[in-house]
Amino acid sequence: MLSIPFRDRLRSLATADRLLQFIAVGTIGASVDMSLLVVFHSVVGLPLVVSKLTGAEISYLVMFVINERWTFSSFGKTSLRARLRRLGTSNGVRLGGLATATTVLVVLTEVAGLWYPLANAIGIGVGFFVNYAFESLLTWRVHRN
């Protein structure tokens, strides 16, 4: 991984088709995240952060499956072991995005008094580009193609 120049890694991210696919998958994931946040918090009555973490993890699994079969289908080995490695890497990568989105959610709702679904949408948006970069480079290793 270290032998590939940084500029080439950045160039591998600038694929318009893949970025648009990632955005489409992210939109589905954000819808799952948002829907489950509202259900868990407003209907079930779970605390805001617990609702966020639960909804986000489910949405991450949904997005991984779609990305694996569509966005990044031409990258990586297809063995069960390789797919499980990518799932673990994807979850690890998305922890950074989850921490960011959850922090934004809490700060905007508790400090700024913003409506929690709107605060959640902003948090998801903040983490999008970081997730795209790290998913592309670490999970599916697009720069190796």
Sorting pLDDT into bands at 50, 70 and 90, what band is 1? Answer: very low
For residue 1, is it within any domain?
Answer: no
**Which range of residues forms the domain containing residue 14?**
6-144
Mean pLDDT of 22-36: 95
Sorting pLDDT into bands at 50, 70 and 90, what band is 12? Answer: low
When divided into structural domains, the chain yields a total of 1
Q: What is the pLDDT of residue 10?
A: 58
Residue 93 has pLDDT above 90, yes or no: no
Give the residue, 16 or 56, on which the prediction is more confident. 56
For residue 87, is it within any domain?
Answer: yes
Six token digits for residue 44: 């079930």
Region of poorest pLDDT, from 10-14, 75-79, 117-121, 123-127? 10-14
Residue 77 has pLDDT above 90, yes or no: no
For residue 22, is it within any domain?
Answer: yes
* Spatial contact of 37 and 52, defined as CB atoms under 8 Å apart: yes
For residue 85, is it within any domain?
Answer: yes
